[in-house]
Structure formats: structure tokens, C-alpha cells
Amino acid sequence: MMIKSVELVVTAFDKEQYPSDNLLQIAVVGRSNVGKSSFINAILNRRNYARVSSKPGKTRGINFYKINNMFYLVDLPGYGYAAVSKEMKKQWGLNIETYFKISDKLKYVLMLVDIRHLPTEDDIIMVNYLKNMEIPFTIIATKSDKLSKTAVQKSIREIAMEFKISPDIIVPFSSSKKQGVDEVLKIIKKNIKN
Ligand code: GTP
Ligand code: MG
């Protein structure tokens, strides 16, 4: 799939701001600092469209990127960032939950985990939620450039075990090396057909 156009239509802090058109949506979720913004830039082939930051917890609102006037890529705020208050964590959780609850245009989820770490409790809650809601998803194991090839394979098996899923639905990904981009674009293409 060619990315011909990208438009940040809205950064929503409230459900009233979600786009009201009928385009399908593909959501990107994951812990704070896992590499969501870098992932989005890599697959859209844009340098710094989604803001990458060294300070975790930057992406607050829900970014709706309209791609090729065909579908939305939805960048959800990262969860699990330790250095924020309980109140803020709760608010983030609620924002994500509201999105999943009311978004009937959501077709597919790309869920990011850091390939160097086992899934956290929050990650497992997220995957269980997707399974229960029967929302199809792929796990993107980010920062694969930080591990050797054999270590990548080992991590994928371990992550699959923790999530109780098949390793076949885990894609190793590197934003810096552009590894996994084509595979992700293929997955997106397959899932934006009505
Ligand atoms: P928040 O919006 O704060 O939740 O973070 P995020 O999930 O959007 O992560 P972001 O893309 O901002 O990246 C966080 C850090 O990880 C940055 O320092 C990136 O440079 C680094 N990073 C992201 N992807 C990769 C990757 O594929 N390889 C390597 N080596 N570093 C990466
Ligand atoms: Mg971000």
C-alpha cells in the first residue's frame, strides 16, 4: 500500500471531538515510551509527523490521522507511565476505554510492546480486553534493532506465551531500521477493505 496523504484531522480529548464520518479506523496502542509515535512515522514514511519524544507520556489526546482519504490510523495515549498521578492514570485509562467502547468504526488494533521486555500487567489487560471484545489485532514487537536475530526469535516466543497467543501474530519491528514496515502495511491493507 502506498501512503499518498496523511492528515491529522483532530487530537481528541473528548468523545464529542471524534471524527463523525464513516471511514474505518485502525488503532495503535501500547505503553508509554514503547515507540508508538516512531512506529507511526515509520509506517507513514514521515520524519516527525507524530511527535517522538525522549520524555515519556507526551502523547495525551487521541490523534486521528486520515490516510489516503480512506481510513484513520488512531494514535491512543500510552498507558502505564509511572511518573504521573493516580488521578491522571485513571483519566488516561478512561480515555482509552471510552474510545474502545464507542468506536464502532474500529476494525483492527496494532498493539505495541517493547521486544526487550515481557508484557506488563497493563499489556495483558489490554490483550485480554481485545480478545474478549473480539477485536482482531497484531502485536508489534518494537525496537527489534536492539536485539540479535536469535534473541528476537526467543523474545517473540516468550511474549506469545505470556499473552497466550500464537507467535505468528507478533511482528518484530524497528523504526530506526525500518524493519517490519512492509508487513504492517500489508496487514493494514487487508483490514481496511469493507
Ligand atoms: P509516548 O508518546 O511518550 O507514550 O511514547 P511513544 O510510545 O510514542 O514512543 P516514541 O516513539 O516517542 O519513542 C520513545 C523512545 O524510543 C524514543 O527515544 C525513540 O527514539 C525510541 N525508539 C522508538 N522506536 C525505536 C526503534 O525502533 N529502535 C530504537 N532503537 N529506538 C526506538
Ligand atoms: Mg507518542
Residues 6+ apart with CB under 8 A from 66: 5, 6, 7, 8, 9, 19, 23, 72
- The CB of 59 under 6 Å from ligand 1? The reply is yes
Domain count, the chain: 1
Is 154 inside a domain boundary? Answer: yes
Question: What are the pLDDT digits (tens) for 91-116?
Answer: 666 778 889 989 999 999 999 999 99
Q: Which of 116, 87, 93, 88 is nearest to 29 (CA)?
A: 93
Does ligand 1 lie within 6 Å of residue 172's CB atom?
Answer: no
This prediction's pTM: 0.92
Q: Whose CA is nearest to atom 28 of ligand 1?
A: 143
Give the other-Cβ count within 10 Å of 18's Cβ: 20
Give the structural domain span for 170.
6-191
What CATH number is associated with residue 102? Answer: 3.40.50.300
CB-CB neighbours of 135 under 10 Å:
16
* Structure confidence at residue 193 as a pLDDT band (50, 70, 90): confident
Does any ligand 1 atom lie closer than 6 A to the CB of residue 84? Answer: no
Q: What is the pLDDT of residues 31-66, one digit of tens each?
A: 988 999 899 999 998 876 666 655 555 557 899 999
In a domain, 64, yes or no: yes
CA separation, residue 153 to residues 18, 91, 149, 160 (Å): 38, 36, 7, 11
